[in-house]
A = this chain, B = another copy of it.
Amino acid sequence: MTKPKPSNDEILDIATRTFSEKGYDGARMAEIAKAAGVNKATLYYRIGDKDILFTAVLKRIFGTKVGQLEEMLKTPQSAEAKIHEFAKILVLGEIPEQFGAIMLREIANGGRNLPDEVLPLMGRTVGVLEEILASGQKDGVFKPINPFLLHMALVGGCSLYATNGPIRRRVAQMAPKDSAIHKELPLNEAANHIAEMLLGGIRITRN
């Protein structure tokens, strides 16, 4: 019956979920405070205004992803395996849909609410992919392709699939019975499949 006062980190958890579901404009400070179990003024006292809160959310979520990517980069797997890992890291995690939704929306927004501080983190995700591709090319197993466009297709495809569940199910109801849209794939399998398709265009094939 007691309510242990939530840590700042727990507040950020709630804020992350709210922003990922409603977007920056759609999220309400009062709503976040209530969901976190703190008074609205406490939220302002502890963390700050909406911009500061959003920045904190972005820094933490992108920071976590970049950390996982850097770790993965150090492992001794093949470049090809690392592409698969890259896709899985994007799409999985404690809170799968959230990263994708926030990323998609921020991009669609032209980064209107994106503070400078998170830009290096976004840039680093591209950088990691570039390093994987460069190493694959050095080993003579990858073609030269535009890493940034691969990044778009990989991130776009995985994030879209990770977040489109609600719409997908609504569309599925009115789609032909034999449509592929009815197949509910777990996120990691979807990420694998997308990565595999793209690897088909990257891998050097002798023919």
Contact = CB atoms under 8 A, between A and B. Distances in A.
A163 B197 contact: no
Contact of A126 (B101, B166, B175, B201): B175
B108 A194 contact: no
A63 interface: no
Given A152-B160, A153-B194, A201-B200, A104 B108 contact: yes
Contacts of A207: 205-207
Contact of A193 (B149, B170, B175): B149
A55 B167 CA distance: 16
A166 B21 CA distance: 23
Given A108-B105, A156-B156, A194-B153, A127 B167 contact: no
B203 A163 contact: no
Interface stretch (A6-14, A41-49, A68-76, A109-117): A109-117
A174 B120 contact: yes
A159 interface: yes
A79 to B, nearest CB: 15
A183 interface: yes
A175 B109 contact: no
B183 A111 contact: no
Contact of A198 (B25, B153, B172, B190): B153
B185 A146 contact: yes
28 contacts: A22-B109, A25-B26, A26-B109, A104-B105, A108-B108, A110-B165, A110-B167, A114-B167, A119-B167, A119-B174, A123-B172, A123-B179, A130-B179, A145-B193, A148-B179, A149-B161, A152-B157, A152-B158, A152-B190, A156-B158, A156-B161, A197-B200, A197-B202, A199-B201, A200-B200, A200-B201, A200-B203, A205-B205
